[in-house]
Copies of this chain bind each other. A is one copy, B any other.
Amino acid sequence: MTHYERVEKVRLLVVDDDPPIADLVATVARYEGWDAITANSGEEALRRAADFRPDIVVLDLMLPDVDGFGVLDRLRRSGTMVPVVFLTARDGVADRVAGLTRGGDDYLVKPFAVEELMARLRTVLRRSAGPAFQRSVLRVGDLMMDEDTREVRRGDKLLTLTPTEYEVLRYLMRKSPTVLTKAQILDHVWEYGFGGRSNVVELVVSRLRRKLDATGEPLIHTVRGFGYVVRQAAE
């Protein structure tokens, strides 16, 4: 029987011993309007968590001092129930983490795509914050994306998107009507460290267009020399 208050910004604590990674996440979160701070060790994480009282934590499992599990344990012991999203290396540890997601927390394998991390953070927040679990639906014109059912519709027409197409479209819709450069799309939707000097983005956009601009007026617009937007009337 809790009462939740209105809070201005989501507070995020990012814990990763690799500063570039921690910063990357924090930066993206700030850009989303969140309050984000970083910690590069377990001790620091616990210290900063105490003052900062984050709403959510991103926690790398491989830390120099206390490891991720230890941090979680001590966080919990200190009475906080903050939801946590774990980061793990591609191999081994993933198994051990698995058990943790049961609670509703989540985890991602490195290297991850920034947008995917943000999407999971939003999901975890949404679920842990509210008693009534409300759907998350994005709309642009008659284009609709339901993030729970992963259903995408243009009008009544149900579209079947591949994972990559889905992610690119979600990013475009979420930022609509902002124009995004191909580099931004690449940086957010593909795993960090993706070597692609190629034209993947153009490719995926092309495939997307075929699927959703087949019916009705185009919603994905090219801004020559810059990037793409999803929006209704292109002036």
A residues sitting closer than 8 Å to B (CB atoms) are 1-11, 19-20, 23-24, 26-28, 30-31, 33, 35, 55, 73, 76-77, 81, 94-95, 98-99, 101-105, 114, 125, 127-133, 148-151, 156, 158, 162-163, 177-179, 183-184, 186-188, 192-193, 195, 197, 223-226, 229, 231, 234-235
| Chain B residues within 8 Å of A101, by CB | 183-184, 187
Is the pair A4, B158 in contact by a Cβ cutoff of 8 Å? Answer: no
A-B contact pairs, 30 of them (CB 8 A): A1-B6, A1-B8, A1-B9, A1-B10, A1-B11, A1-B125, A2-B129, A3-B5, A24-B99, A27-B102, A27-B105, A30-B104, A31-B103, A31-B104, A33-B131, A33-B132, A33-B133, A94-B197, A101-B183, A101-B184, A101-B187, A102-B114, A102-B188, A102-B192, A148-B178, A148-B179, A149-B177, A149-B231, A156-B235, A163-B224
Contact B195–A95 (Cβ < 8 Å): yes
Q: CA–CA, A27 to B189, complex, Å?
A: 30
Chain B positions within 8 Å of A150 at CB level: 179, 223, 226
- In the complex, the answer to whether A19 meets B76 with C-beta atoms within 8 Å is yes
A77 to chain B, nearest CB (A): 7
A104-B115 Cα distance, complex, nearest whole Å: 12
Determine how close the nearest CB of chain B comes to the CB of A221; give it in whole angstroms.
10
Residue of B nearest to A8 (CB): B1
Flag if B226 contacts A127 (CB, 8 Å).
no
Residues of B contacting A149 in the complex (Cβ-Cβ under 8 angstroms): 177-179, 229, 231
Residues of B within 8 A of A183 (CB): 98, 101
How far is B24's CA from A123's CA once the two chains are assembled, in angstroms?
18
Contacts of A55 in B (CB 8 A): 1
CB distance from A33 to the nearest CB of B (A): 5
| A127 & B4 in contact (Cβ 8 Å cutoff) | no
